Amino acid sequence: DDQIGAAVDYTITGIEPGAGTMDLAANTLEEYDNLDGYELEEASTAAMISALNSAIADEEPVIVTGWTPHWKFAMHDLKFLEDPKETFGGLEEIHTLTRLELSEDMPEAYTILDRFYWEPEDMEYVMLLTAEEDMSFEEAANDWIADNESMVEEWTDGVDMVDGDAIELVATPWDTERASAAVVAEVLTRQGYDVEITPVDPSVMFQALATGDADASAAAWLPATHEAFLTQHEGEIDELGANLEGARIGFVVPEYVDIDSIEDLEP
């Protein structure tokens, strides 16, 4: 079908303007000549989901900025549009970061944060419990931990208990990061920490770690989504590597939309 662009009014439905995804989407519109005249609409994740839901209810085309892991892929048949110019970076990982001194100040927490690693299915499980079973992220995290005690034991193996030390996690406000923050917070709480989670925009998250205002985060999407923020704070943040591999961001459409690539969108 060559009428997708006209049918969506040459509009891509975006999310919160502070998301890394929005910067990469804006760059995508610039890099693909066929997207001249398309607009990226700033919205919220909730508005993006409802645009997706109502388009799917009517079997109409819709193009959104999307990412996986996310429960929207469990609820609907969706696909990423291929991105031959890789303006969305290809395969993404989610990384753990801490402030520079954390390894010395809180070696117990640091070791656990450094070991924290799970699979997209694990994160999806926690997210789905909140989206479909109406659980809080804390309840869902506890549910996941109960099913995965052996994994948690690997992260905490040989680590000393602490006595109520305060630790502040920063996380971005999307479900992916609410899920990982809730699991990390629960594991650290069991280790004796007094954990606070502060939800902030990506730019604030990187800044808080660079200045030492916050201790740690499991919410950095790399190498592409948050690359600009990491580069901005080069040498000011301890980067502990991936806690999840196989993430992805990009333009997402319902499966029935009859194109496969960003390049198939008619100007």
Q: Is the peptide bond before 223 cis (omega within 30 degrees of 0)?
A: yes
Which amino acid would we find at residue 201? D
Tokens at residue 14, please?
């975006």
- Applying CB under 6 A, among 28, 68, 172, 191 the residue interacting with ligand PBE is 172
CA distance 216 to 207: 11
- Applying CB under 6 A, among 174, 206, 229, 251 the residue interacting with ligand PBE is 174
Which amino acid would we find at residue 157? D
CA distance 219 to 93: 10
- Applying CB under 6 A, among 19, 112, 188, 216 the residue interacting with ligand PBE is 19
For residues 22 and 140, which CB has a smaller minimum distance to ligand PBE in the complex? 22
**Near ligand PBE by CB under 6 A, which window of 31-39, 48-56, 131-139, 174-182?**
174-182
Question: Residue 8, SS3?
Answer: coil
- Residue 171 as a binder of ligand PBE (CB under 6 A): the answer is no
For residues 28 and 172, which CB has a smaller minimum distance to ligand PBE in the complex? 172
- Applying CB under 6 A, among 221, 248, 252, 253 the residue interacting with ligand PBE is 221
- Residue 67 as a binder of ligand PBE (CB under 6 A): the answer is yes
For residues 199 and 212, which CB has a smaller minimum distance to ligand PBE in the complex? 199
- Residue 80 as a binder of ligand PBE (CB under 6 A): the answer is no
**In terms of Cα–Cα distance, which of 246, 198, 199, 239 is closest to 220?**
239
Q: How far is the CB of 86 from ligand PBE (least distance, A)?
A: 16
CA distance 240 to 13: 33
- Residue 130 as a binder of ligand PBE (CB under 6 A): the answer is no
- Residue 257 as a binder of ligand PBE (CB under 6 A): the answer is no
**Near ligand PBE by CB under 6 A, which window of 13-21, 29-37, 133-141, 255-263?**
13-21
Q: In what helix (H) or strand (E) does residue 231 lie, and over which residues does it extend?
A: helix 227-232
- Residue 21 as a binder of ligand PBE (CB under 6 A): the answer is yes
Question: Residue 246, SS3?
Answer: strand
Question: Residue 32, SS3?
Answer: coil
Q: Widest CA span of the chain, in angstroms?
A: 63
- Residue 222 as a binder of ligand PBE (CB under 6 A): the answer is no
Which amino acid would we find at residue 241? G
Residues in contact with ligand PBE by the rule CB under 6 A = 15, 19-21, 67, 172, 174, 176-177, 202, 221, 225, 249
